[in-house]
């Protein structure tokens, strides 16, 4: 069933209004807004009470890529160099080695507990490793908590710069899974490119 343009625009406006209200609730209770958005989407989707049918994977991918570009650039553009200059070494170490270590720990856990192959476990870890600091920063910002000393700029720098490492690890693990004869050391040129 095709909806008239006016009805479609009205529904989109309602969804945007509901999203704004959801973000206000998230800030009030210190919950990451993404969690509430996921529940909102599931509730309004074809399996939820909203019953909205959406089967456009190409459109979803295009919108997701554009949103990801805005998210990645937003972190860098909002960061002031004067605030992070003194903690650049610690922040970059956390955003590379910290993400790697987190992905490895999650990978080993998924391998031991859930029976994933080690490559699948590390892939799972790579997709999760860069989200932790951003979620913590979101919750702390919502609660107006002030961190002592240089923790705030370190966390801000790490949150804004950890995504390239996660992207590298995700792409690298996908290459290793799809090409079992490839060795992990062959990913070093990919790391230097990314």
DSSP string, 97-138: IIHHHHHHHHHHHHHHHH---HHHHHHHHHHHHTTHHHHHHH
Cβ(156)–Cβ(140) below 8 Å: no
pLDDT value at position 146? 67
Q: What's this model's pTM, rounded to 2 decimal places? A: 0.65
Rounded Cα gap, residues 123 and 171, in angstroms: 9
Rounded Cα gap, residues 147 and 60, in angstroms: 37
Average predicted confidence (pLDDT) for the chain: 81
156-176 mean pLDDT: 83
Split at pLDDT 50, 70, 90, the class of 168 is confident
Task: Give the SS3 label for residue 45.
Answer: strand
Q: How far is CA 133 from the centre of its chain?
A: 10
Tens digit of each residue's pLDDT (9 = 90 or more) over 120-163? 999 999 988 876 555 666 666 655 666 677 777 777 777 777 87
Measured over the CA atoms of residue 132, residue 109, residue 68 and residue 182, the dihedral's sign is positive
41-45, 73-77, 149-153: segment of lowest average pLDDT: 73-77
Is the pLDDT score of 92 beyond 70?
yes
pLDDT value at position 3? 66
């Amino acid at each position: 069933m095709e909806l008239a343009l006016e009805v479609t625009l009205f529904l989109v406006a309602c969804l945007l209004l509901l999203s704004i209200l959801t973000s206000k609730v998230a800030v009030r209770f210190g919950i990451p807004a993404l969690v509430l958005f996921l529940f909102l989407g599931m509730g309004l989707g074809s399996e939820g009470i909203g019953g909205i049918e959406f089967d456009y994977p190409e459109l979803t991918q295009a919108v997701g890529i554009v949103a990801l570009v805005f998210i990645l650039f937003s972190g860098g553009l909002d960061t002031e160099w004067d605030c992070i200059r003194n903690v650049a070494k610690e922040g970059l170490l956390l955003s590379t080695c910290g993400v790697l270590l987190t992905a490895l720990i999650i990978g080993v856990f998924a391998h031991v507990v859930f029976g994933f192959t080690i490559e699948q476990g590390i892939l799972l870890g790579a997709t999760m490793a860069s989200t932790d600091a951003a979620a913590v920063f979101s919750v702390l910002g919502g609660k107006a908590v002030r961190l002592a000393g240089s923790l705030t700029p370190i966390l801000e720098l790490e949150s804004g710069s950890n995504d390239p490492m996660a992207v590298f690890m995700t792409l690298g693990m996908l290459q290793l899974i799809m090409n079992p004869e490839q060795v992990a050391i062959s990913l070093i040129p990919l790391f230097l490119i990314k």
